[in-house]
Amino acid sequence: MPFSAKVTAERFLFDYKYEGKMIGSITVENIFQQPNTSFDVTVSDFKTGGYEMGEAIINGAYNLQKKQLTLYPNSALVYKNAYINTAGEYWIDQDSVRMSFLAEQIPLQWIQPYVDGYVHNVSGVVNGFLTLNSKQGKLKASGKVQTKNAKLT
C-alpha cells in the first residue's frame, strides 16, 4: 500500500532528532502463518542534528518469525555527489549482523552530531568500503577507508 508522511523521530539512534518526508510502500504477507514484511521507502529532506543528509532509500524486508531485518543492495543515503550504499542482514534476537557499506565522497561533518563535546569543526570527505560481521555482539570489521582533507579541532 503506497503512503506518504512527514516523519520526526527523536532518541532513535543517540539523542538526536531525525526528520524527513517519507514516501513508499510497506507490504505484509502471510499475516496468519509466516508473517513477512517488505518495504521500499524513500525519506527526502533527511536531516539529523541540524545537518542535511539528503535522501535515504530504504529497501528490504523483515521476517517476523526469524526477527531478521534485510536491507537490499539499493538501500542508500544520497546527498549531492555523495552516497553511502548498504546491504546485509541483522538478526535481532541473536545480536548478529552481516552488512556491507560502500561510501563515496561522504562529508565527514555528518559525524559531528555524534561527536559533539569531543571534537569540533569536522570537515573533509571519506571514501571506501567496509564489511561488518558479528555474532552475539562480537564485531569484526574489514575493508578500506580513506579520508581526504580531513580536519577537526
Tens of pLDDT, residue by residue over 33-70, are: 777 899 999 999 988 777 788 999 999 999 988 889 99
Averaged over 93-120, what is the pLDDT? 86
> Is pLDDT of 6 > 60?
no
Position 4 scores a pLDDT of 55
15 vs 18, residue with greater confidence: 18
> Is pLDDT of 2 > 70?
no
**Could you give the CA distance from residue 106 to residue 82 in angstroms, rounded to a whole number?**
5
Position 35 scores a pLDDT of 79
Averaged over 112-139, what is the pLDDT? 87
Work out the pLDDT band at 102, boundaries 50, 70, 90. very high
Identify the helix (H) or strand (E) that includes residue 112: helix 112-115
Position 12 scores a pLDDT of 45
pTM (predicted TM-score): 0.77
Comparing 3-7, 8-12, 75-79, the range with the smallest average pLDDT is: 8-12
Position 13 scores a pLDDT of 46
Report the b/e string of 34-61 with b at 16+ CB within 10 A: eebebbbbbbeebbbbeeebbbbbbbbb
- Which residue is associated with the grid cell 561488518? 132
Phi, psi of 109 (to 5 degrees): -60, -15
Q: What is the mean pLDDT of the chain?
A: 85
Position 146 scores a pLDDT of 95
